[in-house]
Amino acid sequence: MIDLKFLRENADVVRESQRARGEDPQLVDQLLEADERRRSSIQAADELRSEQKAFGKKIGQAAPEDRPALLEGSNELKARVKEAEAAQDEAEEAVAKLQLRIANVVEGAPAGGEEDFVVIEHVGEIPEFDFEVRDHLDLGEALGIIDMKRGTKVGGARFYYLVGDGAWLQLGMLMLAAQKAREAGFTVVIPPVLVRPDIMAGTGFLDAHDEEIYYLERDDMYLVGTSEVALAGYHSGEIIDLSDGPLLYAGWSSCFRREAGSYGKDTKGILRVHQFDKLEMFVYCAPEDAEEMHRKLLQLERDMLSAVEVPYRIIDVAAGDLGSSAARKFDTEAWVPSQNTYRELTSTSNCTTFQARRLATRYRDASGKTQTAATLNGTLATTRWLVAILENNQRADGSVVVPEALRPWVGKDVLEVQQ
């Protein structure tokens, strides 16, 4: 949610942010006008309430014979106060609705849409194969570790089973991520995967991504597409203690996405599915610490990708592809040999105070004054990583070399084709 004080003092900055995102800058002026009406209505209602209070004292001090006339005037004033309070409520509701329509203010991201990202860095060597490359599903089926046919039979399209070594490969990847998170000071959390509407709305996911979210109408609950949602709600309505530095959490959960509008896109394999597991980092910090924490989250993602031995690149995501909550986002994209391109594996976003303002998460600064916290998130491992791990480590006979860091969990150096 946009800070109204910031908006009043930096309207041009917010207009430019809207333009960079490809969104309507006129919303800024509409909100400023609505805010002015709200402030005027508050003042008018306060003045009438003060007048009503003074009038009440006058009635109490009046002679008995004068009170009937004064009481008639009091009733008229009471009606005016009620009318002014209704106008105030209406004005505040208009402001709240417009606030929810304006995305977070972009901080440093390039302007444009999905294709206007800026490549920051390439890491690792793209493998060269002297044989015909197989995609991850062909490899997974031959190895007996991915079963899409039975997944579709049981759950429908875009569902799957990870079997045997496939399950251990994912568990090992997530355990490695959890260990790295703990070593970096994060508290590992297994959060709810069902959340209430106010928590989902507070993260900003209902603004632009509601079609991607599973909604359970009978229970008025949402299935999360990332544990970021539940972790953002963890301290909602609280004043948290940041005196010893940022609060760091790493949420391990199953995640659910409808993939609405993606029909015919990445239908083969486990690149774009309805259910997956993920370890998500989440940070609460003072706003002045957010940029540094963003760099730290990105470095942790680098370390994890290096550990699973896949080549990748880092991109600075363009403003129009950020999502409403993020002020800036970096994606790490792994090389996928069968597609001869890079595909997103992780992202890390600086959401500044946008989510915490919606969720009323505050902290006390050095002077003891309450301030809105900043929040950040970043993915440290997810099911999609198996695509890059399998394809980049394949051999001519269809076997796959297990990255050394995952071998303690998988229990094998090489996954062999099932005979």
- Annotated binding-site residue? 218: no
CA–CA distance, 378 with 280 (Å, rounded to integer): 6
Please indicate whether residue 347 is annotated as part of the active site: yes
Written as six digits, the tokens of 194 are 């069902």
- Annotated binding-site residue? 346: yes
Torsion sign across C-alpha atoms 56, 60, 65, 66: negative
Please indicate whether residue 196 is annotated as part of the active site: no
- Annotated binding-site residue? 227: yes
- Annotated binding-site residue? 288: no
- Annotated binding-site residue? 273: yes
Q: Which residues have a Cβ under 8 Å from the Cβ of 415 and sit 6 or more positions away?
A: 143, 145, 165, 169, 399, 400, 402
- Annotated binding-site residue? 353: no
Catalytic residue of the set 21, 358, 384, 391: 384
Please indicate whether residue 257 is annotated as part of the active site: yes
Catalytic residue of the set 134, 347, 349, 357: 347
Backbone angles phi, psi at 349, to 5 degrees: -125, 140
Catalytic residue of the set 344, 364, 395, 399: 344
Q: Which residues have a Cβ under 8 Å from the Cβ of 419 and sit 6 or more positions away?
A: none
- Annotated binding-site residue? 340: no
Burial class (CB in 10 A: 0-12, 13-18, 19+), 67: middle
Catalytic residue of the set 15, 37, 196, 272: 272
Catalytic residue of the set 257, 328, 357, 358: 257
Please indicate whether residue 272 is annotated as part of the active site: yes
Please indicate whether residue 19 is annotated as part of the active site: no
- Annotated binding-site residue? 259: yes
Closest CA to 205 of 230, 221, 229: 229
- Annotated binding-site residue? 228: yes
- Annotated binding-site residue? 93: no
- Annotated binding-site residue? 347: yes
- Annotated binding-site residue? 258: yes
| Cα three-residue angle 291-195-1, rounded to 5 degrees | 40
Could you tell me if 307 and 176 are in contact, meaning their C-beta atoms sit under 8 angstroms apart? yes
For the chain, what is the radius of gyration of the CA atoms? 27
| Cα three-residue angle 190-194-196, rounded to 5 degrees | 120
- Annotated binding-site residue? 26: no
Backbone angles phi, psi at 382, to 5 degrees: -160, 165
CA–CA distance, 369 with 362 (Å, rounded to integer): 10
CA–CA distance, 74 with 19 (Å, rounded to integer): 51
- Annotated binding-site residue? 226: yes
- Annotated binding-site residue? 212: no
- Annotated binding-site residue? 267: no
Catalytic residue set: 257, 272, 344, 347, 384
Question: What residue numbers does the annotated binding site for L-serine cover?
Answer: 226-228, 257, 280, 377, 379
Question: What residue numbers does the annotated binding site cover?
Answer: 226-228, 257-259, 273-276, 280, 344-347, 377, 379
Question: What residue numbers does the annotated binding site for ATP cover?
Answer: 257-259, 273-276, 344-347
